[in-house]
Structure 1
Amino acid sequence: MPGIPTNFEFSPPKTKFCLLTFPALHVLLVTINRPKKLNALNLPAHFELDEVFNWYNREPELWVSIITGSGDKAFCVGQDLKDELTSKKDQTISIDDFPPSGFGGLSRRVDCFKPVIAAVNGFAIGGGMEMTLACDIVIAAKDAIFSLPEVSRGIIAVNGGLSRLVRFIGYQRACELAFTGRICSAKEFKELGLVNQIVPFYKDAVPAALKIASEIIKNSPDAIKVTKRGILYSLESPSLTEAERKLFDSEMTKKLFIQDNFKEGVRAFKEKRQPKWKNSKL
């Protein structure tokens, strides 16, 4: 893989629980690196990942991010309950123990308009599944497993997964998965629309995600940002009319049409050539 680029505007954060690599121009690969714990996250890991995605969000050189888990068994199996319940005096974990962006710095994040792709190489359980629901595109190995088992442990999926799940697949199906905590295959999740693509083996997930990332970075990073914002407006607004109005009236949309990338896109079309995009200033 290519080394760390030298033209970052902001320095990458130092990490202990995840690896940051740069497999292609403008692409950040975040690998949760706790394979002996099946990539379960302790509380410090959430804040580290929050810092990582804060950096990704503001670093102009990065256009697409991929998140995966290390090893051949798990993307992330959720909260490291054993670690936390032995380290916390009151033996409890509350929503206040997490960063505002939620589980893994992603599950409740609402301020990132750059694409985030999940490369699910194994178990995506509890908070791990909540993270995939917060990603824009999900690639899953054929034997990947998804589940929200919180109710079986006397807790709830409080980091954004429930609200996203019901919006994505509907009330009754969301209730079944959340009330039973049952295990779901990658095939079932693809049929539900929660997985974009299934690959044969765990090792194929990241390459497949990189292929999609390469298609994304052919396009204007400004237009991608505004497009993602428009999709999120549609998800969060009570009506299509309101979502369209918000996108049309947003400052980001207005700024799009005075950016260099907009002008370059028009020129390239007229000159019948591929555009040469610049880092987004939006």
Structure 2
Amino acid sequence: MGISTRKHGDGVREIVVDVPPVNALPVQAWFELAEAVREAGGDAGSRVVVLRAEGRGFNAGVDIKEMQAASGFEALVGANRGCHAAFAAVYGCEVPVIAAVHGFCLGGGVGLAGNADIVVAAEDAYFGLPEVERGALGAATHLARLVPQHLMRAMVYTCRNVTAAELHAFGSVLAVAPADRLRETAFEVAEQIAAKDPYVIRRAKESLNGIDPVDVNRSYRFEQGFTFELNLMGAGDRHRDAFVAERARG
């Protein structure tokens, strides 16, 4: 359990997130994920990274229970810094990153998938930002890489989700597969990339990041500033406490 990395002989690096019960990551796990992605990209033998998860869904964002159990602002700051580090690691990985998404992809999950180079998804996958209902903001930067601008805004304001099929229609999800074939589908794409000249692929990744119209790292940090404002004004704790109480009621 936790964050694990597997090396495959063809240059494919597989990073697996397994943090029960719902892959809502505590602060330390975000930093561990960032380090795993950086190490995979920095390995000269790596040609492509597949990022996937075990369990009920791909990622449920930050561990709100951990945040509310902590005193002061250390957990909030840690979660924000950890998410920023993980998202930046995926975006800046020296080789392409394929996100294989199943079940829920919420909050921080959208940050990971949105910063990936390629997304493949299971038929049951859905994507969303429940941040407004949690008294927070963030990852609209990454959602905007998955859906059109006006839909992104509607999703932020209403907290509605979109399905893998909808994203496939937009072209932001490359392929939709049955859940039991998701890993296989991701590896089929990974193997196509791994078969290319690795030096050229690394330069391709660097060049594509260089022509991006939005600086995703700076844009996300700007969003996070409003999360701190909401917390200082009491909205953050109020909504997070309500979330924890609702979960406790079952």
Alignment TM-score, normalising by the size of structure 1: 0.70
Q: Distance in 1 between matches of 2:140 and 2:214?
A: 17
Pairing 1:7-18 to 2, within 5 Å after superposition: 17-18=2-3
Partner SS state of residue 130, structure 1: helix
Partner SS state of residue 102, structure 1: helix
Contact 2:18 2:54 in 1 (8 A): yes
Assess, with a 3 A threshold, how the Cα gap between structure 1 residues 170 and 186 changes in structure 2: closer, same or farther.
Answer: closer
Contact 1:79 1:126 in 2 (8 A): yes
Q: Distance in 2 between matches of 1:41 and 1:198?
A: 25
Assess, with a 3 A threshold, how the Cα gap between structure 1 residues 237 and 130 changes in structure 2: closer, same or farther.
Answer: closer
Q: Which residue of 2 aligns with 1:26?
A: 11
Partner SS state of residue 21, structure 1: strand
Q: Which residue of 2 aligns with 1:230?
A: 207
Pairing 1:187-202 to 2, within 5 Å after superposition: 187-201=165-179
Q: Does 1:85 align with 2:80?
A: no
1:102 pairs with one of 73, 76, 84: 84
Assess, with a 3 A threshold, how the Cα gap between structure 1 residues 101 and 232 changes in structure 2: closer, same or farther.
Answer: farther
Q: Which residue of 1 aligns with 2:228?
A: none
Bigger relative contact order (CA 8 A; separation at least 6) = 2
Contact 2:91 2:115 in 1 (8 A): no
Q: Return the offset for 1:92.
A: 6.9
Pairing 1:243-254 to 2, within 5 Å after superposition: none
2:43 pairs with one of 47, 55, 59: 59
Q: Distance in 1 between matches of 2:53 and 2:91?
A: 22
Q: Which residue of 2 aligns with 1:208?
A: 185
Q: Return the offset for 1:91.
A: 6.3
Q: Distance in 1 between matches of 2:54 and 2:8?
A: 15
Count of residue pairs brought into register by the alignment: 215
Q: Distance in 1 between matches of 2:97 and 2:153?
A: 26
Q: Distance in 1 between matches of 2:168 and 2:117?
A: 14
Partner SS state of residue 58, structure 2: strand
| Structure 2: segments with no counterpart, 5+ residues | 216-250
Contact 2:15 2:50 in 1 (8 A): yes
Q: Which residue of 2 aligns with 1:122?
A: 103
Assess, with a 3 A threshold, how the Cα gap between structure 1 residues 61 and 99 changes in structure 2: closer, same or farther.
Answer: farther
Contact 1:140 1:205 in 2 (8 A): yes
Q: Return the offset for 1:194.
A: 2.3
Contact 2:60 2:107 in 1 (8 A): yes
Q: Which has the higher helix share?
A: 2
Q: Distance in 1 between matches of 2:136 and 2:83?
A: 19
Partner SS state of residue 18, structure 1: strand
Partner SS state of residue 75, structure 1: coil
Contact 1:57 1:112 in 2 (8 A): yes
Partner SS state of residue 105, structure 2: strand
Q: Does 1:76 align with 2:59?
A: yes
1:50 pairs with one of 34, 39, 42: 34
- Sequence identity of aligned pairs in percent? 26
Q: Return the offset for 1:48.
A: 0.7
Contact 2:51 2:100 in 1 (8 A): yes
Assess, with a 3 A threshold, how the Cα gap between structure 1 residues 97 and 67 changes in structure 2: closer, same or farther.
Answer: same
Partner SS state of residue 212, structure 2: helix
Alignment TM-score, normalising by the size of structure 2: 0.78
